[in-house]
Amino acid sequence: MGQDWTGSESRRRSPWGVLALVMLTGLALVRNGVDVGMGPPQPAVAAGLDSRRTYQDPVPLTGSVEPLPYAPASKIGIPALRVNAPIIDVGLDANGWIEAPAPADPNLAGWYQNGIAPGQQGTAVIVGHVDNAGGPAVFYGLGALQKGQHVEVSRFDGRTAVFEVYAIEVFAKNDFPGARVYGDTGSPELRVITCGGGYSRATGYDGNVVVFARMISAR
């Protein structure tokens, strides 16, 4: 767990690019609660990625940012959504999919600990539930984020990586573009992911909302 971090990376972390190809539908954060009004907000078309680009042709950088060294994530803040949530380390479940935090705590996010640390060179991933049996959860409003808004990730080394949102998309779980979402763009990036898309009582949500953000500063 991140709380046990001693300032050095003592374990071998799996290459995220390889895991991305395995976990194409691994972020199936299944809704297990009651109906919540009209459901969570979904990304607007204008908030999506430029369809002419791929993860190998990223949105142009507006400035150069020095990547941070490895350190586990401890907290995520999204000022526009009034999100301020602790982060726990998550790994893979018995079926090989990325785990989600326990749904009982609505204000809890998970960082995939075998991937990239937020602020490191590469693409870090943080996940969380959209709702639970009691109602909205930590990332209920994720689809309402807009380009230019910020996500702040505190780390156990005392640093905070600040990311700027450049796209918000919703992808079907049965056609999740792993390489596009998780691929290394050549800069420190972050993906924040929760459930979204259509919903049925029988099968839960049929998609994932994905926020694409790039580090713009660290403090």
Beta-bridge mates of residue 27? none
158 or 53: which carries more pLDDT confidence?
Answer: 158
d(CA 215, CA 163): 4
Structural domains of the chain, with CATH = 14-59+66-218 (2.40.260.10)
More confident residue, 177 or 212: 212
* Average pLDDT value for residue range 174-189: 90
Q: How far apart are CA 169 and CA 44, in angstroms?
A: 8
Q: Is the pLDDT of residue 14 over 60?
A: no
**For the segment 47-57, what is each residue's pLDDT rounded down to a tens digit?**
555 544 444 44
The percentage of the chain sitting over the pLDDT mark of 90, rounded to a whole number, equals 46
**Stretch 115-136: mean pLDDT:** 92
Q: Does 206 have pLDDT greater than 70? A: yes
CA dist., res. 28 & res. 31, Å (int): 9
Specify whether the CB–CB gap between 41 and 47 falls below 8 A. no
pLDDT, tens digit, for every residue of 60-85?
A: 444 578 999 999 999 999 999 999 99
pLDDT band, very low/low/confident/very high, at 205 (cuts 50, 70, 90): confident
Per-chain mean pLDDT for the chain: 79
